[in-house]
Amino acid sequence: MGRDCHIFRSHCLIKVEPNMIGADLGAGNARWARVLADRGALMTAVDVLPAPDDLREGVEWVQMRIEDWIKQIDPFVRFDFIMSFNLIHFLDREYVLEHLLPCLAAHVHPGGWMAIRTFCKHPEPVTGMEDRILSLYKPTDILGALPRWRTHRAHTDQDLSEGQCGTTRLWHITDVLAIRPE
């Protein structure tokens, strides 16, 4: 999992205990949901993609846009943690900062946490994907959308722009772990 695992391995995994209720938004091939379910967490994994064939017990797959999922979940549902890796840069920035992040925060138990990873590549190097919405988020952008949250000092903000990806001039990765106040 390489670089992707840094904040996850060092700060999220250790906080996961059996029977915690978690959500993985933009779950992809369920690689993280799988790891968390292995720890005993009960996971809801949301993605526009269909469930992977080898989905394991402990992961409930919801095939839906995040924008639709957040609108239809029970307002009283609370998660112990919500994670979203490599998703928000594909969504509208104003929607993410003014609506999605505050709404997600309202669905986390006191004492729970959110972990967000986002990246930005410009120009997008993959042919056919050039017009995807990619927005550069700094930790302050994400944490600014969560004003009453205590922030974990372990967020990373990596500029990988130099010589990483052919014509890509900007390649930036941001990890944020934000913990709700007790």
Ligand X SMILES: C[S@@+](CC[C@H](N)C(=O)[O-])C[C@H]1O[C@@H](n2cnc3c(N)ncnc32)[C@H](O)[C@@H]1O
For ligand X, the closer of residues 41 and 110 by Cβ is 41
Q: Cis link prior to 52 (omega < 30° from 0)?
A: no
Stretch that binds ligand X, among 40-48, 102-110, 133-141, 166-174 (CB under 6 A): 40-48
Q: Which of 86, 151, 156, 161 binds ligand X (CB under 6 A)?
A: 86
Asked whether position 132 contacts ligand X by CB under 6 A, the answer is: no
- 135 backbone dihedrals φ, ψ, rounded to 5°: -120, 135
* 48 near ligand X (CB under 6 A): yes
Among 61, 79, 81, 85, binds ligand X (CB under 6 A): 85
Q: Show contacts of 63-71: CB within 8 Å, 24+ apart.
A: 66/25, 66/26, 66/91, 66/100, 67/91, 67/95, 67/100, 69/25, 70/100, 70/103, 70/104
Residue from the set 66, 101, 104, 176 that interacts with ligand X by CB under 6 A: 66
CB atoms within 10 A of CB 142: 23
d(CA 39, CA 158): 28
Nearer to ligand X, 47 or 175 (CB): 47
Q: Enumerate binding residues for ligand X (CB under 6 A).
A: 26-28, 31, 46-49, 65-67, 85-87, 90-91
